[in-house]
A and B are shown apart, each in its own frame.
Chain A
Amino acid sequence: NAGVMQNPRHLVRRRGQEARLRCSPMKGHSHVYWYRQLPEEGLKFMVYLQKENIIDESGMPKERFSAEFPKEGPSILRIQQVVRGDSAAYFCASSPRLAGLDNEQFFGPGTRLTVL
């Protein structure tokens, strides 16, 4: 049973370009979360999605960032017109969200974005 998969593992972009980060949740998991880790910082929540729905995007920057989790295919975190401050590790996590149970989130290996 494959774990959470993220690709690419490393992404280099120049200022002004677009970055697309992909996340495939664990099999049977319908809930996806994106987190960002800046250097020397903890993970900061960005967005929580279910299939075709954004449940909570309170951690997403208001501009340039968007996320989707389509009916088919991976979840995508999209950053338009990247700036140097976007350089960070972006982690995706998934959970089965079984009702009534505390359930931990399983993390992917992350995508390290470097903006030149």
Chain B
Amino acid sequence: DQQVKQNSPSLSVQEGRISILNCDYTNSMFDYFLWYKKYPAEGPTFLISISSIKDKNEDGRFTVFLNKSAKHLSLHIVPSQPGDSAVYFCAASDGRDDKIIFGKGTRLHILP
């Protein structure tokens, strides 16, 4: 039972345009959401997070939007750069413990 779902296995975006990565979750107890970026042969690196008391968090080129009623969050990257090509994992936790539930990831390709 996949509690965090990333329905797009891959996404291709032109350099300079906006990349939008989507994530849906099923557990209404989740109250903290994270995005991680992963390059091949490396561990995931933390990108940005959002608490359920907010609906938007911005950090430079990265913005995460949370729609609690739809149980949906998205990561916007603008403008997209070649170094953004990686696998992006959406993740969530419910605050009772530190266990993080990950989605399967979306592979982002930034095209020149």
Q: A41 touches which one: B51, B99, B104 (CB < 8 A)?
A: B104
Which B residues fall within an 8 A CB radius of A? 4, 6, 32, 34, 36, 41-46, 49, 51, 89, 97-105
Question: Are A42 and B102 in contact (CB-based, < 8 A)?
Answer: yes
- The distance in angstroms between the C-alpha atoms of A6 and B41, with both chains bound, is 13
Q: Are A40 and B104 also in contact (CB < 8 A) when A31-B98, A95-B98 are?
A: yes
Q: B49 touches which one: A31, A56, A102 (CB < 8 A)?
A: A102
- The distance in angstroms between the C-alpha atoms of A43 and B4, with both chains bound, is 11
Q: Are A43 and B49 also in contact (CB < 8 A) when A56-B97, A95-B98 are?
A: no
Chain B residue contacts of A104, Cβ below 8 A: 34, 46, 49
CB of B59 to closest CB in A, whole Å: 12
Q: List 23 A-B contacts (CB under 8 A).
A: A4-B43, A40-B104, A42-B6, A42-B89, A42-B103, A42-B104, A43-B89, A45-B99, A45-B101, A48-B97, A48-B99, A55-B97, A56-B99, A91-B43, A91-B44, A102-B32, A104-B49, A105-B46, A105-B98, A105-B100, A107-B44, A109-B43, A110-B43
Given contacts A35-B102, A102-B32, 7 further A-B contacts (CB under 8 A): A42-B104, A42-B105, A44-B102, A56-B97, A91-B44, A102-B51, A110-B41
Question: Are B104 and A97 in contact (CB-based, < 8 A)?
Answer: no
Closest residue of A by beta carbon distance from B31: A102
Closest residue of B by beta carbon distance from A43: B102
Chain B residue contacts of A40, Cβ below 8 A: 104
- The distance in angstroms between the C-alpha atoms of A42 and B4, with both chains bound, is 10
CB of B81 to closest CB in A, whole Å: 22
